[in-house]
């Protein structure tokens, strides 16, 4: 059982790291967007990369922290009806919708991986001057959902454990 708890803590920790990475990228986005405006307006020399790189950062910001936000229970949702239920029933409902979410995540991971692999195989690149290899930003979508899926499994296990432990 010990190795299992190491694994779940590990999943938590990596998720947390992704959120911290987002905070850092956010600062980088702020600086690069301002730099681009500055270069364009005052020196008439807009960067060729700022807009595009920021789009990729934004995708990172949108999908990579999903797992950690799930752990912190900070996703936007309607929990007032759930909270009216008894503790055990809440856990059952959570397990149920977590399984549904796992189904959705699996589809995104599976088809997202295909999309990424194709982009890699055919050497797809962005149509800009940067000609950025697209498999890298593409891979963020399945990667974020892989972690969301793992976090969901952890959450389901924890809920089952609590049910078994006679949680009221």
Partner 1 sequence: MSVTFAVVLVFIILLLLIFMGCPVFASLGISATIGILLLRGWVGVSQIPSTMYGQLSSFVLIAVPMYLLMGDVLFKTGIGADLYDVFSKWFNRIPGGLAMASVFSCAMFGAMCGISIAGVATIGVIAIPEMLKRGYSPPLAAGSVTAAGALAMLIPPSLLFILYGAIAEVSLDKLFVGGIVPGLILALMMCIYIAIRVLINPQLAPMPDEVITWSDRIRPLKRLWPAILLIVWVLGSIYGGIATPTEAGAFGAAGAYLIAIFVYRTFSLKMLAETLLTTARTTGAVCIIVACAMIFSQFMNLARVPEHLTQFLVSLSMPDWVLMFIVMVFLLILGMFIDGASMVLVTTPILLPVVVAAGYDPLWYGIILILNLEMAVITPPVGLNLYTLKSVTDAVSMAEILRGTMPYVAVEFACLMFFVFFPELALWLPSTMK
With beta carbons less than 8 A apart as the criterion, state whether 71 and 15 touch. yes
Which residues lie across from 125 on neighbouring strands?
A: 133
Residue in 55, 68, 43 with CA at minimum distance from that of residue 144: 68
Asked if 164 is part of the footprint of partner 1 (rule: CB under 8 A), the reply reads: no
Would you tell me how many other CB atoms lie within 10 Å of the CB of residue 66? 20
Check residue 70 for interaction with partner 1 (CB under 8 A).
yes
Q: Which of residues 85-144 bind partner 1 (CB under 8 A)?
A: 93-94, 96-97, 100-101, 103-104, 107-108, 111-112, 114-115, 137-138, 141-142
20 near partner 1 (CB under 8 A): yes
Residue of 46, 56, 71, 163 interacting with partner 1 (CB under 8 A): 56
Query: CA-to-CA distance for 48 and 43, rounded, in angstroms?
Result: 14
* DSSP three-state, residue 44: coil
Q: What's the rounded Cα separation, in Å, for the pair 26 and 36?
A: 15
Rank residues 54 and 159 by Cβ distance to partner 1 and give the closer one: 54
89's tokens:
């029933």
Positive or negative CA dihedral for 106, 110, 111, 116? positive
For partner 1, the closer of residues 8 and 126 by Cβ is 126
Using rule CB under 8 A, residue 81 touches partner 1: yes
Binding site for partner 1 (CB under 8 A): 19-20, 22-27, 29-30, 33-34, 36-37, 41, 51, 54-56, 58-59, 61-66, 68-70, 72, 74-82, 93-94, 96-97, 100-101, 103-104, 107-108, 111-112, 114-115, 137-138, 141-142
């Amino acid at each position: 059982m010990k190795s299992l708890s190491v694994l779940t803590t590990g999943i938590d920790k990596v998720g947390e790291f992704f959120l911290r990475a987002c905070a850092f990228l956010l600062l980088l986005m702020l600086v690069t967007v301002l730099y681009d405006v500055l270069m364009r307006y005052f020196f008439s020399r807009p960067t060729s990369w700022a807009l595009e790189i920021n789009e990729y950062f934004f995708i990172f910001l949108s999908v990579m922290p999903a797992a950690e936000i799930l752990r912190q229970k900070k996703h936007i949702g309607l929990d007032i009806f759930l909270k009216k239920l008894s503790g055990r029933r809440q856990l059952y409902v959570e397990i149920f919708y977590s399984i549904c979410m796992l189904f959705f995540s699996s589809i995104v991971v599976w088809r997202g991986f295909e999309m990424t692999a194709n982009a890699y195989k055919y050497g797809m690149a962005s149509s800009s001057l940067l000609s950025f290899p697209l498999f890298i930003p593409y891979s963020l979508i399945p990667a974020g959902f892989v972690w969301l899926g793992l976090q969901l499994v952890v959450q389901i296990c924890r809920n089952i454990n609590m049910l078994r432990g006679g949680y009221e």
